[in-house]
Structure 1
């Protein structure tokens, strides 16, 4: 079995660390000044410009060699079709390969079978081509398509827009709280953020040839939400 895994730390851990650091800074600063800690939220909406999907071939036969040979033939064709559509080598990566045995039937008709599954991760950098590529994959023999995920090749612009909105939201809240308390908002003493990029996932297992006679598949990309949450510490003045 071959698997690709990521070693990135969980986002909740990073978020908790940031919050802890801000709290520590707050404790230090409040020893010398009256302060208010405000949370601001900002969201920008962007159309996705790339799609990542998992596709593959699963074959079953009475012998492992037959299942493997059949799978390899179909998988080679699948990868070739993807590259014919203009997908670069760097955007096609094997994500898993499994061989396992099972038993079918009951009693005297019970027999051993072998199943081979070969999966590949494909990154499509032109969203308009997704439907065409999905159709080509199925026609090439792919009977498994998982996790169609829309994303952004560069989310920096969306994050910057969301940051501005989040800071403005924090300032609005700080002014509201301060006015209600009969004080004024002073300078910013500390600021930190948490960014959340939204996406969408869909998955399907397709029986062999089910869509072979259909028209090109239709995919709706919609929009992605890029959300930023800021924690701002303000000084309070009379």
Structure 2
């Protein structure tokens, strides 16, 4: 193998992003059909679990109650400025949530759907987490080959009902290649063809091996304080 050529290929394949009021704005993902843009707070580095933000995201994924509060408080603080910077009127926006593998409709008490609805109320947008349905499928996190993950996601068969606004924000916890968000987006557009669909997540999952020099140095210092204060709310 020509390692220099392979390294160059990997660098070229690295997804580019823009800093948008602290958020990572991805114009496209590996799989991004139907998505206008996608926003995440930071990277979740699967091969650097000691990194500060990565360790927080892992605890959130593991349903740690303190991390739930930290993540929620940060989303509540960071999303309104993003929406304002995008110059979108809240009344023209609707917030929905991606579904877990076992769900056929979003559980409003689950953390991400709950955050989406709380944010909708805060900014004056619509909440329609019951608009997205799908079939159950196996967890894709246990599948390491891309074709296996895509085949499993195809079983979900996402469907969207008619939505009350044209700018749709799909909330999820973490994104990797974009397969889930893309399928949700395409389902939304099938029923709401004039919509623009944006992905929103806590983090973009990445590996140091495949993404040269990823770091979370872009994260505003006050975000660290907000997350920490949220965790401190839990005894």
With normalisation by structure 2, the TM-score equals: 0.22
TM superposition score normalised by structure 1: 0.21
**Higher normalized strand content (fraction of residues):** 1
Which has the higher Rg, Structure 1 or Structure 2? 1
Write 1 or 2 for the structure with the bigger share of helix: 2
